[in-house]
Amino acid sequence: MRLTKRFSLLAAAAAFTASTAAVAAPTFINILTGGTSGVYYPIGVGISQLYSKGIDGAKTSVQATKASVENLNLLQAGRGELGFALGDSVADGWNGVEDAGFKAPLKKLRAIGGSYPNYIQIVASKESGIKTLADLKGKSISVGAPKSGTELNARAILKAAGLSYEDMGKVEYLPFAESVELIKNRQLDATLQSAGLGMAAIRDLSSTMPLNYVEIPEDVVAKIGNDAYQAAKIPAGTYDGQEADVPTVAITNILVTHSDVPDDIAYQMTKLLFENLDQLGNAHSAAKDIKLENATKALPIPLHPGAERYYKEAGVL
């Protein structure tokens, strides 16, 4: 009788421990961003703070990466729960465009929603004499990490302007911060950066030396022939010494997850994001351009069912 009772107590204790462990199991949310001097990273930090406070048992982390292409490949492999990526890269990932850095179609990708636009920002040292896209011929330029979202943007824009890498004096494939350091040291003439407005690397450079801000005219934007690219302007005063609006290209960023993320977690991720946009705007001014009414527009991949549930509740679907 005592032995039976002891076994019963042990079984009950084991069951209690198992149930407690199940309840207490943490939810890991790894947020894939970009370089620390870009815009993805500070906004990613802001989102991680929302999730760690708002999702029970959430353990959040923020990973600096080479941005869009790497983020999408990591999400497909289940090595992150949320990632930032440019809209054209997301479409290429879904379709498995090898030249864009995708060996096979990434069919696990799911959208949390559209966020703020990236602006193509081409800046050159004033002493380089570069004022237009045509002036880039024979000069040195950095176009972002190889097959990154930024570098894919660079290829598309130069092609539309009738230029190629072969026309340049030298092409460097470097992240934002390293590109800026080379310009400061007179080892590079220009850099093309795809990011939110007011990014740290260009702010730093503009406070250090006089710059020219290179326009991308509307006729060049039209020749790109991709709906992901829209004519836009960098407002005057965004950077030191930038006295006029600069015509350029904008491309929507998409917050991406994958199909293995549970519906309830994806729902909470979406809800917390769009119900705390004021707080997120404090992480970086670019986040102030995230709008709920734009979140479900022109997405090149399916919405995650959890995100879809939130948008239906919010009345935007």
Angle among Cα 299, 303, 307 to the nearest 5 degrees reads 125
Q: What is the pLDDT of residues 181-196, one digit of tens each?
A: 999 999 999 999 999 9
Which residues neighbour 293 within 8 Å (Cβ) at sequence distance 6 or greater? 316
Q: What is the pLDDT of residues 108-128, one digit of tens each?
A: 999 999 999 999 999 999 999
Q: What is the pLDDT of residues 136-181, one digit of tens each?
A: 999 999 999 888 889 999 999 999 999 999 999 999 999 889 999 9
CATH no. of 118-251:
3.40.190.10
Range 28-116+252-314: architecture per CATH? 3-Layer(aba) Sandwich (3.40)
The candidate with the shortest Cα–Cα distance to 116, out of 152, 82, 84, 80, is 84
Residue ranges of the chain assigned to CATH 3.40.190.10 = 28-116+252-314, 118-251
CA distances from 288 to 43, 47, 66, 235, 301 (A): 11, 13, 23, 15, 24
| Token duo for residue 23 | 């309840």
Q: What is the pLDDT of residues 22-47, one digit of tens each?
A: 455 799 999 999 989 889 999 999 99
Measure CA 314 to chain center.
24
CA distances from 311 to 73, 141, 266 (A): 26, 42, 12
